[in-house]
Amino acid sequence: MNCLVNLKLNPIVPGCASGEIVLSRVPLSFWGGFSAQSGKVIDSRHHLVGQCLTDRILIMPQGRGSSSSSGVLLEAMRLGTAPRALICVVVEPILATASIISREMYGTWMPQFSIDETLLQQVRSSAWAEIAANESGYYLKIPQVKGDDGVL
């Protein structure tokens, strides 16, 4: 039986999503670091280089770099190659702009949230997750991680 943990999220651009988690412990610049055409990380210095973010939930400390990142994300949303959702510790208004514009222009968007840094220790890449809402707010539902001793 899989035990699920609900991690509290703070909505920046609200919405629900589900998908495999891609966790980065370092920031990613969408401008020059991500291909809107392929949905892949293209920054050769980033540990996620070559990974496809399409239909996955990207979790990272914060974005990096240019205000042009919002344009790259907007194009990825238009093409259907964007991540399903973006969760950062540090709120990135320039990245949120892309989701807001996409919602208005295309009727589709990438939900964005912030999360408390202490909660990130409970998140693992490749885990299936769901972002859901209830009367108390938004939550990231993930499988509970076993400790080094195998105990939940």
- Kindly report the CATH number assigned to the domain that includes residue 45: 3.50.30.10
Asked whether residue 148 is domain-assigned, the answer is: no
Instruction: Determine the pLDDT at residue 127.
Output: 84
pTM beyond cutoff 0.85:
yes
The catalytic residues are 66
Instruction: Determine the pLDDT at residue 125.
Output: 83
Asked whether residue 24 is domain-assigned, the answer is: yes
What total number of domains does the chain contain? 1
Q: How many CB atoms lie within 10 A of CB 11?
A: 14
Asked whether residue 114 is domain-assigned, the answer is: yes
Asked whether residue 149 is domain-assigned, the answer is: no
Q: How far apart are CA 59 and CA 138, in angstroms?
A: 15
Pairing of β 137-143 and β 57-60: unpaired
Asked whether residue 115 is domain-assigned, the answer is: yes
Asked whether residue 112 is domain-assigned, the answer is: yes
Residues near 5 by beta carbon (within 8 Å), at least 6 away in sequence: 122, 141, 142, 143, 144, 145
Along the 152 residues of the chain, how does pLDDT read in single tens digits? 468 889 999 999 999 999 999 999 899 999 999 999 999 999 999 999 999 999 999 999 988 866 789 999 999 999 999 999 999 999 888 899 999 999 999 999 999 999 999 888 888 887 899 999 999 999 999 987 665 444 34
pLDDT, tens digit, 9 for 90 and up, residues 35-52: 999 999 999 999 999 999
Domain residues for the domain of 43 are: 4-143
Q: How far apart are CA 109 and CA 101, in angstroms?
A: 8
At position 115, the amino acid (one-letter code) is I
Which residues of the chain form beta strands (DSSP E)?
Answer: 4-13, 17-23, 57-60, 85-88, 112-114, 128-134, 137-143
In angstroms, how far apart are the furthest CA atoms of the chain?
50
DSSP code at position 51:
-
